[in-house]
Chains A and B, each alone.
Chain A
Amino acid sequence: MIPLSAYVAVSAVLFATGLLGVLIRRNFIIVLMSVEIMLNAATINLVAFSHYLEAMQGQIVALFIIAIAAGEAAIGLAIIIVVFRGKISTNVDEMNLLKW
């Protein structure tokens, strides 16, 4: 029997990886991929608790997370296309038009 802590630990490591990716990568598309890693870590947590506490709610919320990830990917990639059209760079440290 695998303990619940093991799943939570895997999820924590994946979340830290994704957070680090958001902070250190320059390419905007890779930053969005790192956000997907973090959403997957949250989903693992929800499904693991849903299984071990014998409640269905975790899996329902995991489905909502997947739907929201789809919307986030569509909007984020549309923003990348708009930025790329005006200025030929998708590095996050060069996008500073709205910076104060």
Chain B
Amino acid sequence: MAFVFFAYFAVVSIVAGILTVALKNPVQCGLALLALLLHVSGLFVMLNAEFLWAVQVIVYAGAILVLYLFVLMLLNLKTDDRYFHAKAPYLLAPAAIGLTYLLFLLVRSPFGGSRGDASPAAILLNGDAHAIGIKMFSEYLLQFEIIGVFLTGAIVGAIVLAKTPRSIETRRDA
């Protein structure tokens, strides 16, 4: 049963990723990206990461993707007939060969290693959000604060960038 779900989420997310890159209309690309994000969040559920599932749906599908679609609708872009880069055909063959070799290496690798203390049974005791919270606010508190400062800086920067400069406004009035 788990294998069926994994196959569904994996195949649909890969197809949606290819559609995001290949479709012509930017709004359709955005909707394909939405399908990709939701199915990747399904993979998170299969990996016992329920908190990340919720964060993925709320932040990615709910906030970031809406921002993308908002800018797409705001700019109302006309798609050119030539929507791929001029050198695109030359890139496809090296990409396919490289990816095949990478997959060959990955499937053969054993990926063993020392195990941590967060076994699935230990996480299920109090839930995934509890386990992440304990870890985040004990060992990763400094990084958490840095991310907060980073996001504040990013938002201020975005507002400063997107604001209409004063010189343009006065020129338009005159």
B154 sits at the interface (CB 8 A):
yes
How distant is the Cα of A71 from the Cα of B63 in the complex, in angstroms? Answer: 11
How distant is the Cα of A40 from the Cα of B9 in the complex, in angstroms? Answer: 14
Q: In the complex the two chains form, is A64's CB within 8 Å of B120's CB?
A: no
Closest beta carbon of chain B to A37's beta carbon, Å: 5
Q: A74-B155, A77-B158 are in contact. List 11 more A-B contacts (CB 8 A).
A: A1-B2, A24-B87, A26-B82, A40-B37, A44-B40, A47-B49, A59-B51, A60-B136, A78-B161, A81-B71, A81-B162
Contact with B along A34-72 (1 / 0, CB 8 A): 101100100110011111111111011011101111111
- Chain B interface residue count, CB cutoff 8 Å, equals 84
- Chain A interface residue count, CB cutoff 8 Å, equals 71
How distant is the Cα of A85 from the Cα of B161 in the complex, in angstroms? Answer: 11
Q: In the complex the two chains form, is A82's CB within 8 Å of B150's CB?
A: no
How distant is the Cα of A21 from the Cα of B21 in the complex, in angstroms? Answer: 5
Cβ-neighbour of A21 out of B14, B20, B55, B87 (below 8 A): B20
Cβ-neighbour of A75 out of B86, B117, B157 (below 8 A): B157
Listed in ascending order, the chain A residues whose CB lies under 8 Å from chain B are 1-2, 4-10, 12-14, 16-21, 23-27, 29-30, 32-34, 36-37, 40, 43-44, 47-57, 59-60, 62-64, 66-75, 77-82, 84-85, 90-93
Q: In the complex the two chains form, is B14's CB within 8 Å of A14's CB?
A: yes
Chain A residues contacting B85 (CB-CB under 8 Å) are 23-26, 92-93
Closest beta carbon of chain A to B101's beta carbon, Å: 11
Chain B residues contacting A55 (CB-CB under 8 Å) are 115-118
With A13-B14, A25-B21 as known contacts, state yes or no: A5 contacts B111, CB within 8 Å.
Answer: yes
Contact with A along B1-29 (1 / 0, CB 8 A): 01100100010011001101100001001
Closest beta carbon of chain A to B157's beta carbon, Å: 6
Q: In the complex the two chains form, is A71's CB within 8 Å of B75's CB?
A: no
Chain B residues contacting A90 (CB-CB under 8 Å) are 75, 77
Contact with A along B98-130 (1 / 0, CB 8 A): 110011001101010111111110000000100
Q: In the complex the two chains form, is A54's CB within 8 Å of B120's CB?
A: yes
With A5-B111, A51-B49 as known contacts, state yes or no: A80 contacts B75, CB within 8 Å.
Answer: yes
Q: In the complex the two chains form, is A66's CB within 8 Å of B56's CB?
A: yes
How distant is the Cα of A69 from the Cα of B55 in the complex, in angstroms? Answer: 12
Q: In the A-B complex, list the 9 residue pairs whose CB atoms are closest, starting with the nearest.
A: A55-B116, A71-B154, A21-B21, A24-B88, A78-B161, A78-B158, A74-B158, A51-B47, A17-B17
